[in-house]
Amino acid sequence: MNRFTSALRALVAASLVAPLGLLAATPKTAPAPAAAAVAPAPSSLPQPPEIAARNYLVMDMTSNQILAQKDIDAPVEQASLTKLMTAYLVFDALRTKKITLTQTFPVSVRAWKMPGSRMFIDPKMQVPVDDLIKGMIVQSGNDAAMALAEGVGGTEEHFVQMMNDQAKALGMNSTTYKNPDGLTEPGHLTTARDLATLATRLRRDFPEYAYYDAIKKYHYAGTPPSNDTNRNGLLFRDPTVDGLKTGHTDAAGYCLIATAKRDFPNVPGRRMLTVVLGTTSEAARLNESQKLLNWGYTAYEDIKLFGANQPAVTPSVWKGKENTLKLGRPEGIVVSVPVGGAAKIKTQVVRPDPLVAPFVKGQQVGTLKVSLGDQPLTDVPLVVLESVDQAGILGRAWDAIRLWIK
């Protein structure tokens, strides 16, 4: 009896000091990742069309699955796709009220003398932030990007450090920034995968500013009227395209990140993303991007497995004020499968066991593995939908006994 009593006391003490199975909450800068595509055997899935580009990918942004890819981890020059990170930091400064859209920034001599594509602003001007954003995105102005960088970061050098810090926070581990505009510079490199990450987070984190990417025409007073057309020609060709950014240097070739949104009965507002790098002309980057968008929408369909905040699984939890833990995704769980393949979907939950409270809302706990028949398709991280606090002393002690017996 004395040995049993000693063991019981030890278990109770352990339950009060260090609960079993406690998982760390996900960092704020790197939220629990969405579904990550698992590369399946190519023979069993739809094959993309021939794409004349050095690197490319097509991603269903609704399911966060990569549907087709080529050399997406190879280092590439960024060209003006760099300006997406500049935009990310500007939007963050707007949201945190460090700057406002109506605030004016001066135009430094450094910004005025920027080579390449320009907004054609000069040091006599005080330009509103709203116009500088349009000049950077619509006209791809290197001068506008520099003026924004200096206005937000104080200096170009400090802003570039902010860009690199943000890249790390977003998980863009193969990206290094040397400037805010994208002009060729040694070491100014990224990958197609990192660009897809940036584009996805830009849309997810700052939806209120997405309208800038769809502006077809823009002209700032005092600059050449002929320089008013968005270089993303898909905005004029495909009414479902609403972004995102073009880029070109001799080293990078002609590049385009494109986004489109099309409605389907089962999943309204289904969004597709393409990253096409290293094509030989403006026409080629448009044609190849359009081919990938159309293929993604027609070769794959989206299936909603669970709605927003709907639990995918409710396992038992120990030492908590609640008996079960709701695991799912705040935005719901959608998967992309080849057209007609819905009946072949299989799911499996992989999670720690036992699950011991406390658990915090948003904390990642386990994974939903989705397969098409016996073929892995995607992994969806499951997060806690409702927090579960620790039970009182008696509840924890009782569960400690039950766990010991178990």
Structural contact between residues 238 and 256, judged by C-beta atoms closer than 8 angstroms: no
Residues sharing a CB contact under 8 Å with residue 197, sequence separation 6 or more, in sequence order: 170, 171, 172
* Side-chain half-sphere exposure of 380, counting CA atoms within 13 A: 31
**End-to-end CA gap in the chain:** 19
Distance, in Å, from the CA atom of 214 to the CA atom of 203, rounded to the nearest integer, reads 13
Residues sharing a CB contact under 8 Å with residue 183, sequence separation 6 or more, in sequence order: 114, 115, 116, 142, 249
- Residue 371 catalytic? no
CA-based R_g, the chain, Å: 25
Task: Specify the DSSP element, H or E, that contains 112.
Answer: helix 109-112
Distance, in Å, from the CA atom of 287 to the CA atom of 316, rounded to the nearest integer, reads 52
- Residue 140 catalytic? yes
- DSSP secondary structure letters along 24-88: PPPPTTSPPP--EE----GGGSPPPPP--SSEEEEEETTTTEEEEEESTTS-EE-GGGGHHHHHH
Catalytic residue (choose from 15, 63, 83, 178): 83
CA distances (Å), origin 216, targets 98, 211, 244, 291: 28, 10, 11, 21
Catalytic residue (choose from 80, 117, 174, 289): 80
- Residue 387 catalytic? no
- DSSP secondary structure letters along 186-217: TT-EE-HHHHHHHHHHHHHH-GGGGGGGG--B
Catalytic residue (choose from 15, 63, 117, 140): 140
Distance, in Å, from the CA atom of 262 to the CA atom of 270, rounded to the nearest integer, reads 5
Query: Which residue numbers are catalytic?
Result: 80, 83, 140
